């Protein structure tokens, strides 16, 4: 795959060969992952067929274009042998507190930013009930973007509605 969702683990694998083109069995391998000016290193060892596999676990809120290169730890190489992208959205504010009475409503605006390197299209959203709270969140579809260019931002208008049986406590939401 070339594109992954934000927070998804990414399997990276390959076959190491020696200078004669033969499988490098039981060889140490350094897998370099670079993005946004940062480099990460994952070390492993090949199996008897020269195969290696590692899992890259990006941070839950990171996105970007990534370059990967792998080889012996002593090798001096810097050109990507493979690339992939992680797409992601960021919301601001990330959390908020709302105090509502039963049958009450509260309106607020959430900024949505495409923090990945690719344009996103066919975006959609649906209303959600917050389990056991008697509160429903809905987004005005006219304000929710159906697409966002890389680095693009938009505002969505959100309505929180408390039903007649809602708890009268303050609601704390994390996006």
- Residue pair 79/69 in contact (Cβ under 8 Å)? The answer is yes
Q: Which tens digit of pLDDT belongs to each residue from 27-56?
A: 999 999 999 889 999 999 999 999 999 999
Q: What is the pLDDT of residue 148?
A: 95
Pairing type for strands 51-56 and 10-15 reads antiparallel
Q: Among 108, 86, 77, which Cα is nearest to 171's?
A: 108
- Residue 23: band (very low, low, confident or very high) from pLDDT cuts 50, 70, 90: very high
Q: If you average pLDDT over residues 71-94, what whole number do you get?
A: 89
Please report the pLDDT score of residue 162 as a whole number.
Answer: 87
More confident residue, 65 or 1: 65
pLDDT in tens, 144-172: 999 999 999 999 998 888 888 887 655 55
Residue 35 half-sphere exposure, CB side, CA atoms within 13 Å?
Answer: 20
Residues 6+ apart with CB under 8 A from 28: 43, 44, 45, 72, 73
pLDDT at 1: 82
Please state the pTM of the whole predicted model: 0.74
- Write out pLDDT tens, residues 89-137: 999 988 878 788 888 888 989 999 999 889 999 998 877 777 667 888 8
Residue 165 has a pLDDT of 84
Beta bridge mates, 44:
29
Question: Mean pLDDT across the stretch 52-69?
Answer: 93
**In this predicted structure, what is the pLDDT of residue 13?**
96
Measured CA to CA in angstroms, residue 156 lies from 17, 45, 110 at distances of: 52, 48, 5
Report pLDDT for 53.
97
């Amino acid at each position: 795959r070339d594109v992954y969702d934000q927070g998804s683990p990414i399997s990276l694998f390959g076959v190491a060969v020696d200078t004669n083109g033969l499988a490098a069995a039981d060889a140490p391998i350094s897998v370099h992952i670079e993005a946004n000016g940062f480099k990460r290193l994952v070390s492993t060892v090949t199996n008897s067929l020269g195969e290696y596999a590692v899992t890259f676990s990006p941070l839950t809120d990171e996105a970007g274009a990534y370059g990967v290169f792998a080889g012996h730890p002593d090798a001096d190489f810097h050109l990507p042998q493979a690339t992939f992208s992680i797409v992601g959205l960021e919301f601001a504010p990330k959390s908020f507190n709302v105090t509502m009475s039963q049958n009450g409503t509260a309106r607020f605006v959430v900024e949505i930013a495409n923090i990945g390197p690719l344009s996103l299209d066919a975006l959609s959203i649906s209303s959600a009930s917050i389990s056991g709270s008697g509160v429903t969140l809905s987004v005005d579809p006219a304000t929710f973007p159906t697409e966002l260019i890389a680095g693009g931002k938009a505002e969505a208008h959100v309505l929180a509605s408390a039903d007649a049986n809602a708890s009268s406590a303050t609601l704390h939401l994390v996006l």
